[in-house]
Amino acid sequence: MDPMRRLHFVKIVVALSVLLSLFICVNRVQAADERSEKILLFSAASTINAMNEVVDLFDSKGIGRCVISFASSSTLAKQIERGAPADIFVSANVKWVDYLSDRGLIMPDSRFDLLGNRIVLVSPLDSPIQIQIEPHFKLAELLGHERMAMGDPDHVPAGIYGKQALESLGVWNSIERKLARAKDVRAALALVEKGETPLGVVYATDAAMSSKVRIVGFFPEDSHPPITYPVIIVSGRGTALTEAFLSFLKSPEAKVVFEKYGFTVW
């Protein structure tokens, strides 16, 4: 064979060998990725900062991976009802876990209460507003022609708790038409942060992580039911990995993170 043709042939063989090696390597990586276990966690919007940190800690253990989807508890529950492939659900109140339980969509033995919280009235950081939260306090007068931000009280847990508190204090009827209803508690917080509303009802944990609002006052704990975050495994999604993640949520490591963000850990 002509030397030049031989050299050309050798180059082709080497190139094909490299391509074959790359193909085998890529397929091995893909196969390993497919074999690595992961879970899909649906978690209430108010847990974003804390849960992201907890999941990072869990992922670092090398047990498996956790992917999170955050939204209002009602939205997540309805998605699960429609067949979304969630493995675990952390709700900001018991209502939406009960909703799924009534439809046979949870593993009953997996249910436990993880966190507690408070609701507070917040204003923009530079606002001069001062008010004492007590029965029949002059909230409507304080708002005037402005609106108050709140998660939609028809389905967002923070809004539901806020409505219950305001009803208990005898001021709901006077401010019901003055609400800026938000899709979730973080959206309500954003309205206050941007100065679009002078006041908002959010969780204490949301207020604590924001540098743009200040707490005007805490709603009395006896003005609404306890704020509880129940956790469940979705029906049919129980695995060793989901059980491991639930155990990690109860661990001292996770507790430190949750408490750092202002949650009460049951």
DSSP for the chain reads --HHHHHHHHHHHHHHHHHHHHHHHHHHHHHHHHHS-EEEEEEEGGGHHHHHHHHHHHHHTTS-EEEEEEE-HHHHHHHHHTT---SEEE-SSHHHHHHHHHTT-B-GGG-EEEEEE-EEEEEETT--------TT--HHHHHTT--EEEE-TTT-HHHHHHHHHHHHTT-HHHHGGGEEEESSHHHHHHHHHTTSSSEEEEEHHHHHH-SSEEEEEEPPGGGS--EEEEEEEBTT---HHHHHHHHHHTSHHHHHHHHHTT-EE-
Average pLDDT over residues 124-140: 95
Residues facing residue 116 across a β-bridge: 228, 264
Task: Say if residue 45's pLDDT is above 50.
Answer: yes
Which CATH topology does 119-218 take? D-Maltodextrin-Binding Protein; domain 2 (3.40.190)
Q: What pLDDT was estimated at residue 266?
A: 86
Q: What pLDDT was estimated at residue 9?
A: 46
Task: Say if residue 30's pLDDT is above 50.
Answer: no
Average pLDDT over residues 111-125: 97
Question: Which pLDDT tens digit goes with each residue over 68-102?
Answer: 999 999 999 999 999 999 999 999 999 999 999 99
Q: What pLDDT was estimated at residue 37?
A: 84
Task: Say if residue 114's pLDDT is above 50.
Answer: yes
Q: What pLDDT was estimated at residue 1?
A: 53
Question: Which pLDDT tens digit goes with each residue over 229-238?
Answer: 999 999 999 9
Pick from 96, 35, 87, 98: which is nearest to 244 by CA?
A: 87
Residue spans of the domains in the chain: they are 36-116+229-265, 119-218
Average pLDDT, the chain: 89
Q: Do domains 36-116+229-265 and 119-218 have the same CATH topology?
A: yes
Return the CATH number of the domain spanning residue range 36-116+229-265: 3.40.190.10
